[in-house]
Amino acid sequence: MKPIRVLVVDDSAFMRKVISDLINQAPGLETVGIARDGADALRKIQELKPDVITMDIEMPVLDGMSALEKIMQVNPVPIIMLSSLTREGAEKTMKALELGAVDFIPKPSGQISLDIDKIQNQLVEKIFIAAGTKNKIASTANEFKSVRPSIPSVPNIKSNVAGRPHQLSKLVLIGTSTGGPKALQEVIPKLPASVDTAILIVQHMPPGFTKSLAERLDSLSRIKVKEAEDGEKVLPGCAYIAPGDYHMLVKSNAGSDRSMNIVLDKSPPRGGHRPSVDTMMESAVKQFWSHMVGVVMTGMGNDGAEGIKLIKGKQGKTIAEARSSCIVYGMPKAAAETGAVDKVVPLGEIGEWIVRML
């Protein structure tokens, strides 16, 4: 097989050299070229026709965000963004995923990371995943140029969580990975303000980024969306996103209101993931007594498949995203193959089916 050809884009000569070396050390990968900024990258793409691009966000002349947008419009290629672990970096990363980046990797110690070799395994894995999305990226670039839902101004319609009855009788459990941030923007904003359920979400993502994801979804949605906090009460009309590097579980209370609280813990990763979709779903099945809907969307691997079976075993309803809309058809495929999925539907219909099943 031909090696996967990677274009490395970074304004630091040191970073270009080290990232290129890390790629070249991996069997099946080769650095086909380097670019010092976004403008240089646009020229090199035409010349070198890479399979995957690694792109720094912060660069002079033409930064990574602007270059990403132009590439998706003119010559779509799978792009992995390299991001700094700052608040601003997290916000820009969320925007990059909206604009079409397949995934991102946090630099371990800032813009010039002398210990960049720490991310070699992660970098290699994500390049292989990104290469597998090449045809998908090209075919869907136009479809996803704008992901902002056409809904009224959020402040006028935001669900009043505080004013709702706190009796929790319905729970939606969503799991996703690669392609998930963009996919969630096609689902959560479509839920009505009157939805009488709580939503628990596991998005495979490193620490420092889930808060920005929650804030972005909250700004687009009729319901409240927030990063989950340990011990907080689970309320109808609110979506809770598991923080990066924490499993999210629930614990039921013995009181008359039969309420539930979030539990965050750092028990070992499950299937290589923390947070784990299966861990969240398993906890809900053990602790929750009423109506559940389980949803598995785009992502590599099989996280969520066991959880979907458990939900179905408790007479819950289950949904898997269809191959046609997945950036990576791994997790939904594994879920569907369990035989425990009620509906396999494209991304644009998932929000509607969640409401129907509730």
Number of neighbouring beta carbons within 10 Å of residue 112: 13
34-48, 68-82, 96-110, 295-309: least confidently modelled range:
96-110
Helix (H, G, I), strand (E, B) or coil at 207: coil
DSSP 232: P
The question of whether 204 is a catalytic residue gets the answer: yes
- Name the E strands within 11-160: 29-35, 52-56, 79-83, 103-106
pLDDT of 334 higher than 70: yes
H or E element in which residue 272 lies: none
Q: Report, as an integer, the average pLDDT of 319-329.
A: 97
Kindly list the distances between the CA atom of residue 256 and the CA atoms of 20, 167, 168, 197, 260, in Å, as whole numbers in the listed order: 60, 10, 12, 19, 12
Backbone phi and psi for residue 278, each to the nearest 5 degrees, phi listed first = -60, -40
Q: Which residue has the tokens 């979907």?
A: 308
Of the candidates 127, 102, 106, the one whose C-alpha atom is nearest the C-alpha of residue 179 is: 102
Catalytic site residue from 177, 276, 283, 325: 177
Q: Which domains does the chain have, with CATH numbers?
A: 4-140 (3.40.50.2300), 157-357 (3.40.50.180)
* 222 or 165: which leads in pLDDT: 222
Number of neighbouring beta carbons within 10 Å of residue 267: 11
Two structure tokens written together for 159:
């669900």
Catalytic site residue from 103, 221, 303, 325: 303
Measured distance CA(249)–CA(7) in Å, rounded: 40
Q: For the packed helices 13-24 and 120-131, what is the interaxial angle rounded to 10 degrees? A: 70
The question of whether 303 is a catalytic residue gets the answer: yes
Catalytic site residue from 56, 204, 247, 278: 204
Write the pLDDT tens digit of every residue in 267-323.
999 999 999 999 999 999 999 878 999 999 999 999 999 999 999 999 999 999 999
